[in-house]
Amino acid sequence: MKTRMTELLGIKHPIMLAGMAFVSLPKLVAAVSNAGGIGMLNSVAYTPDQVKGVIREVKDLTDKPFGVNATLILPNGRENIAVALEEKVPILNYALGKGDWIIKAAHEYGGKVLATVAIEKHARRAEMDGADALVVTGHEAAAHGAEVGTLVLIPSIARQSKLPIIAAGGFCDGRGLAAALVLGADGISMGTRLMLTQECEMHQKAKELSLKATAEDTICSEKIDGLPGRWLKNPAAIKMAEGKPSLFEAFSSALRIKRLINVPFYKLILGGLKQRGVQDLARQALSLKGLKAAIDNGDLETGVLPIGQAIGLMKDIPTCKEVMERTVSEAEELVEALRKKITS
């Protein structure tokens, strides 16, 4: 299947792996790229020195295009993207920050830059800055998004932008890919679906428990990690969404982040102030701790897990190759069946 997304990025299938913290690791990134899509390495939990080694690990596992993403507002976000630029990573993906400097540097060596947006204003800004494509995230998505659902957000931005659009939020199969193309997108990003694959290194218990969730078993809150987002509705997420970290928790949690990603303490404070204050430091650290518990140990009682509403449509744990091939073939069959239905 050829679209503007496949042509721009030099790939076979119009499917991207969402950059998920502690989930989009080298093995999964390479598996998606080797299967014909775009693997996206998440850099949030690495120091700049570490991310260089991880990028090189991905290069050892695949000779296909892959990307590195970063949330620029978070600690080490800008620094890790700078390392990816030095390593001449083919595709850079940024969110929550101004990306003109990334675009300029990437274009100097022929790299492509994807801007993740959830509102129209940010899409316009990214296009003005020179981004090559937009990753447009609807309300159904896991982790960070805004209030508008995919069904409205994709055509709204498609009408205003000339850039290729990668639709994110609610996509996990061929039906979703076909719908995204009709809405005006050129491909899709999948997080939750590719998280529940054999190559993903998340704990098997967490995968199996996630498969039992329905579309109603998610919760949206800005209090879990300090940014609006969607999470599995479990005891820990509900407690965090209802709670308010103390100043002591903010301080101790900031120290925990400092140890985890080796970032200067003053940068953590500044990062918290860029959001809504030092309490967001506590939320960031507590959510990172919860993520590690869920992903490493399969603990969905005290751990937290970003998860999209599409979880209700998933019933298996296939390989990345199986996901990619059946998604594209199903989409092609559905489009052809729809064409016949309309003309009959």
pLDDT for the residue numbered 265: 47
Task: Tell me if 318 is assigned to some domain.
Answer: no
User: Alpha-carbon torsion 204, 241, 98, 76, what sign?
Assistant: negative
Tens of pLDDT along 71-118? Answer: 888 778 899 999 999 999 999 999 989 999 999 999 999 999 999 999
Task: Tell me if 309 is assigned to some domain.
Answer: no
Task: Tell me if 186 is assigned to some domain.
Answer: yes
**179 and 55 housed in the same domain:** yes
Give the global pTM. 0.90
Q: Which of 179, 203, 227 is the last residue of a domain?
A: 203
**Which helix (DSSP H) or strand (DSSP E) does residue 256 occupy?**
helix 247-261
**168 and 283 housed in the same domain:** no
What CATH code is carried by the domain that includes residue 134? 3.20.20.70
**39 and 111 housed in the same domain:** yes
**234 and 97 housed in the same domain:** no
pLDDT for the residue numbered 340: 85
Give residue 16's Cα distance to chain centre.
Answer: 9
**269 and 172 housed in the same domain:** no
**23 and 134 housed in the same domain:** yes
CB atoms within 10 A of CB 128: 9
pLDDT for the residue numbered 136: 97
Range of the domain at 121: 4-203
Task: Tell me if 329 is assigned to some domain.
Answer: no
What are the φ/ψ torsions at residue 134 (nearest 5 degrees)?
-115, 135
**37 and 143 housed in the same domain:** yes
Task: Tell me if 227 is assigned to some domain.
Answer: yes
**255 and 276 housed in the same domain:** yes
The low-confidence residues of the chain, meaning pLDDT below 50, are 265, 273, 275-278
Q: Which of 148, 183, 203 is the last residue of a domain?
A: 203
Overall number of domains in the chain: 2
Task: Tell me if 168 is assigned to some domain.
Answer: yes
Q: Which of 203, 222, 243 is the last residue of a domain?
A: 203
CA 189 – CA 179 distance, rounded (Å): 13
One-character DSSP codes across 52-69? HHHHHHHHHH-SS-EEEE
pLDDT for the residue numbered 241: 86
- Residues paired with 140 in a beta bridge: none
pLDDT for the residue numbered 253: 58
**199 and 115 housed in the same domain:** yes
CA 231 – CA 217 distance, rounded (Å): 9
Task: Tell me if 324 is assigned to some domain.
Answer: no
Tens of pLDDT along 127-160? Answer: 999 999 999 999 999 877 789 999 999 999 999 9
**Which helix (DSSP H) or strand (DSSP E) does residue 190 occupy?**
strand 187-190
Gyration radius of the chain over CA positions = 19
What are the φ/ψ torsions at residue 266 (nearest 5 degrees)?
-65, -30
Task: Tell me if 87 is assigned to some domain.
Answer: yes
Which residues of 43-158 form beta strands (DSSP E)? 66-71, 91-95, 112-117, 133-137, 143-144
Q: Which of 196, 178, 200 is nearest to 187 (CA)?
A: 178
Residues 113/81, Cβ–Cβ less than 8 Å: no
**179 and 111 housed in the same domain:** yes
Size (the chain), residues: 344
**273 and 153 housed in the same domain:** no
**174 and 89 housed in the same domain:** yes
CA 65 – CA 238 distance, rounded (Å): 39
CA 8 – CA 90 distance, rounded (Å): 11
- Residues paired with 231 in a beta bridge: 219, 306
pLDDT for the residue numbered 329: 97
